[in-house]
Amino acid sequence: MIDLSILLQIVWTGLSASSYAVLFAVAFSLVLKVVKVWNFAQAGLMALSFYAMYALHALLGLPLLASVGLGVLITIAASVFMDRFGLQTLRNRLSPNLTFFIFTLVVSEFLAYLLAMIFGTEPVALTQSIMSGVNIINGIVISNWDIQALCITAVLLALLYLFIAKTRDGQFMAAVADNPELARFYGISVKRAYLVTFVISAILVTTGMYLFGTRASVIPNTPLQMMLFAVIATLLGDMGHIFGAALAAIALSLIQGLSIFVIPSQWQGLILYVFLFVTILFFPQGVNFKKFKQLTRTPKTA
Amino acid sequence: MEYLVSLAVLIGIYVILSSSFNLIIGFGGLISIAHPIFFALGAYTTGLLAIHCGIHPLLAVLAGGTVAFFASMMLSLPSLRISGDYLLITSIGFQLGLLEVIKHLSFTGGASGLGNIPNVVDGSSRSTVFAVVSCVVASAVVLIIRWLLTGPYGRVISAMRDDELAFSALGRNAMMIKLALFAIGSGFAGIAGGIYAYYYQYISPDQFEILQSAMLLTMVVVGGMGSHLGPVVGAVLLLLLPQAISFMNLPPSVMAPLQGVIFTTLVIIFLFWRPQGLIAPAQRQAQRKP
């Protein structure tokens, strides 16, 4: 018989752990939806944002908040640079999908190698201690980090929803995502839409790495595994439906946590790969989250 | 001298790997990066058969190739029937997932690796024998792939890669061609794994991670994707290049990432300034002629 408090504890821990996974999944899904690129460079950008914050805070002694702010700027600069001088060149040449894939993957690995050369491969965290204060509510341990992570994620998702639904840039992004040629015909700057997409993606990625880096240690290759999670969530959450990817990331995190009841802990890592195959085989176009259509629907006015 | 002979063994193995990878990605147009896992399956099959069954090395290496050949279908059958992009994503998951399994199984040696693979060549000429074997097998693989692609079957492959819709409209089965290409390429990688296991007598999951995929991709892109000799040139060049850096006497913690930085920089440079690689595919060369 499963103890209810243990069950609730696992659900809570899974939910809080899904916070950064949601941000990575939404960032990946957003670029896929608007720019139409499987952005595997996201793993490298995740590593870059983490080590930028680490260098500024842990090595140079800047306050954490300032380090996060500068980390965001560095990641935005790297993302925009990659889009303008890399992806844009490939788009102009009408390069095949394979070239885009090789480019994004290689950028990711280049950054991982470069960071390993500079910072080494010893695991490091953003703060000296990754322990956080805890509160016990009805027998469930709720850490301050959990509350902070869930609040930050919820606020960012709400802001993203408002941005897409209410601002002109957001609506232009939606128009470009639907049909870039038609959007261009109506005078919308596709390049600007791509730029805004990468800026938002960089903000989400850096915030996700801040949350992860204050809870666990990182090596330059850690983000690759985390990005695979984002890819699976994107596939599961109805490809290109940004908030579907977020829901899928939460579901995946909970399933991974709850799997402890049925399989030994050392095999938990495999669940992700099983999901990947099941998704590809049975849900190649993703799971249709009808209940959340309001969130995923594209704004009609552009 | 021993050092140069060991390098020749490695060059032979990587020529097999890069040429077979080029068959899949360059000629077949199948976007997969899981080639190292078939290399691993070949190495582990050969290693386990050598340790537990003591069968003839030739049979063990062939068994490694056969396991890789059939295992490739576990990846290609579900993902190829949907679309090309899915193969890429599933290939990453397949590679990392199988490595995760290998890391947790006791009979494969787990994360610490599989050691005590029996030595099949004794004496001072051991490396020379392996160098000859690996280079002969590499030449055979390059020639087989060339023979496969220059005949009628090669024209079928080119037609499928250039316009799959038109190819299917002519009543041809593109899926079967893709499956066959993927299986043949993976089978060759399994054979390379067998030679690798016998030569080094120790294998571990870390040797077959995504970084290995990056290295093979670099060899193919720099050498010339879709050309017969490109991957051979790419493999030789990228195995010789790190030797030049080794004279800089840098610490190992810097050396390995530096090699990675050089590899990835080369790929980026080639993608933008010479996308056809060092040796352009024959078709493109022909197109350039007036």
Q: What percent of chain B has pLDDT over 70?
A: 95
State how far the alpha carbon of B5 is from the alpha carbons of A163, B1, B236, B238, B244, in Å: 62, 6, 13, 16, 17
**DSSP at B204:** -
Nearest CA in chain A to B268: A103
* Sequence-distant (≥ 6) Cβ neighbours of residue B134 within 8 angstroms: B8, B9, B11, B12, B13, B16, B195, B199
Residue B209 has pLDDT above 90, yes or no: no
pLDDT at residue A239, rounded to an integer: 60
Q: What percent of chain A has pLDDT over 70?
A: 91
Query: Stretch A63-88: mean pLDDT, rounded?
Result: 96
pLDDT at residue B82, rounded to an integer: 62
pLDDT at residue A96, rounded to an integer: 81
Give the residues across from B114 on adjacent strands.
B203
Residues 131-170 of B with CB under 8 A from A: none
Distance, CA of B225 to CA of A132 (rounded, Å): 51
pLDDT at residue B81, rounded to an integer: 67
Distance, CA of A89 to CA of B107 (rounded, Å): 49
Among A44-58, B4-18, B138-152, B207-221, the minimum mean pLDDT is found in: B207-221
Measured in angstroms, the CA of B133 and the nearest CA of chain A are apart by 32
Query: Among partner residues B79, B82, B271, which is closest to A99 by beta-carbon distance?
Result: B271
* CB-CB neighbors (< 8 A) of A274 in chain B: 97
Q: Is the ipTM of this complex over 0.85?
A: no
Residue A293 has pLDDT above 70, yes or no: no
Selected residue with higher pLDDT from B286 and B138:
B138
Among A28-32, A131-135, B82-86, the minimum mean pLDDT is found in: B82-86
User: Which structural domain range is residue A254 located in?
Assistant: 4-296
Q: Report yes or no on A301 lying in a domain.
A: no
Nearest CA in chain B to A82: B268
Q: Report yes or no on A302 lying in a domain.
A: no
Alpha helix positions (H), B23-151? 35-48, 57-80, 84-104, 126-150
Nearest CA in chain B to A266: B104
Query: Among partner residues B82, B93, B267, which is closest to A284 by beta-carbon distance?
Result: B82
> B188-199, pLDDT tens digit by residue?
999 999 999 999
Query: Stretch A201-219: mean pLDDT, rounded?
Result: 95
Query: Among partner residues A109, A120, A228, which is closest to B96 by beta-carbon distance?
Result: A228
pLDDT at residue B256, rounded to an integer: 80
Q: Report yes or no on A109 lying in a domain.
A: yes
Measured in angstroms, the CA of A139 and the nearest CA of chain B are apart by 34
Q: Could you report how far apart the first and last alpha carbons of chain A are, in Å?
A: 55
Contact predicate A48/A111, CB 8 Å: yes
* Sequence-distant (≥ 6) Cβ neighbours of residue B136 within 8 angstroms: B12
Could A112 and B260 be called an inter-chain contact, meaning their C-beta atoms sit closer than 8 Å?
A: yes
Give me the phi and psi of A143, to 5 degrees please.
-85, 160
- pTM for the model: 0.83
Q: Report yes or no on A110 lying in a domain.
A: yes
Measured in angstroms, the CA of B241 and the nearest CA of chain A are apart by 17
Residue A290 has pLDDT above 70, yes or no: no
* Average pLDDT score, chain B: 87
Query: Stretch A240-247: mean pLDDT, rounded?
Result: 83
Q: Report yes or no on A93 lying in a domain.
A: yes
Distance, CA of B184 to CA of B66 (rounded, Å): 10
* Average pLDDT score, chain A: 87
Distance, CA of B148 to CA of B141 (rounded, Å): 10
Could B97 and A270 be called an inter-chain contact, meaning their C-beta atoms sit closer than 8 Å?
A: yes
Q: Where are the beta strands (DSSP E) in chain A?
A: 134-137, 140-143
State how far the alpha carbon of B8 is from the alpha carbons of A174, B1, B2, B240, B243, in Å: 55, 11, 10, 10, 13
B213 in helix, strand or coil? Answer: helix
Looking up residue A209, the CATH number of its domain turns out to be: 1.10.3470
pLDDT-based confidence at residue B63 (cuts at 50, 70, 90):
very high
Q: Which of A82, A95, A69 is nearest to A194 (CA)?
A: A82
Query: Stretch B3-10: mean pLDDT, rounded?
Result: 90
pLDDT at residue A300, rounded to an integer: 46
Query: Stretch B247-262: mean pLDDT, rounded?
Result: 80
Count of CB pairs separated by less than 8 Å, A with B: 101
Query: Stretch A156-183: mean pLDDT, rounded?
Result: 93
Q: What string of DSSP letters covers chain A?
A: ---HHHHHHHHHHHHHHHHHHHHHHHHHHHHHHHH----THHHHHHHHHHHHHHIIIIIT---HHHHHHHHHHHHHHHHHHHIIIIIHHHHHTT--HHHHHHHHHHHHHHHHHHHHHHH-SS-B-SSS-----EEEETTEEEEHHHHHHHHHHHHHHHHHHHHHHHSHHHHHHHHHHH-HHHHHHTT--HHHHHHHHHHHHHHHHHHHHHHHHTTS-B-TTHHHHHHHHHHHHHHHTTTT-HHHHHHHHHHHHHHHHHGGGTS-GGGTTHHHHHHHHHHHHH-TT----GGGHHHHPPPS--
Distance, CA of A44 to CA of A50 (rounded, Å): 10
Residue B290 has pLDDT above 70, yes or no: no
Q: Which residue has the tokens 């090669």?
A: B154
Given CB atoms, is B261 within the 8 Å cutoff of chain A? yes
A302 in helix, strand or coil? Answer: coil
Query: Stretch A128-156: mean pLDDT, rounded?
Result: 87
Query: Stretch B56-62: mean pLDDT, rounded?
Result: 95
Selected residue with higher pLDDT from B263 and B37:
B37
**Domain layout of chain B by residue ranges:** 2-207
pLDDT at residue A288, rounded to an integer: 56
Q: Report yes or no on A94 lying in a domain.
A: yes
Query: Among partner residues A112, A120, A273, which is closest to B96 by beta-carbon distance?
Result: A273
Residue A289 has pLDDT above 80, yes or no: no
Query: How far from chain centre, in Å, is Cα A179?
Result: 24
Could B271 and A102 be called an inter-chain contact, meaning their C-beta atoms sit closer than 8 Å?
A: yes
Amino acid identity, position A32: L
Total number of domains in chain A: 1
